[in-house]
Amino acid sequence: MSAIEWVGCLGSGVQPNFNENENMTAGRPKFEHAPEVSFDEIDYKNPNELKAARESMLKEQFVRVEMLKIVRKALETCFQVNGPNNYEECRNLADKYLDMLPDHRAQGYSGYQRNDPSK
């Protein structure tokens, strides 16, 4: 899938097809996914559970930041490809990027941990 097709998929709501076959995954190491841990389910006195919850929260935030970077890169590519018509052609990507900005930033875990509503 080319970069232009990828940009078109992002703006139109169509999901790109990234099915991996056996040839693509041959020779790659297999990784275990870390379990999702929430601050709601842990004992704050247990440092291992606290560290796992922090890492889980940070991992989720980093994924959201990378999603924002992908949309921004697609928007930049759309601007370059469409030239003078970029305001009309890239409007849906620009709206998506602006909608994602407030929620897709790294905030850390300290504020949530101190103000945990369940504790």
Whether 102 contacts 16, CB under 8 Å? no
Tokens of 74: 């697609």
Half-sphere exposure (Cβ direction) of 100: Cα atoms closer than 13 Å: 20
Give per-residue pLDDT as tens, 26-71. 777 776 666 677 777 788 888 898 888 888 888 888 888 999 999 9
What is residue 16's predicted lDDT score, i.e. its pLDDT?
Answer: 52
Q: Cα–Cα distances in Å, from 2 out to 9, 35, 56? A: 11, 34, 33
Give per-residue pLDDT as tens, 66-78. 999 999 999 999 9
Angle at which helices 47-82 and 3-12 pack, to 10 degrees? 110
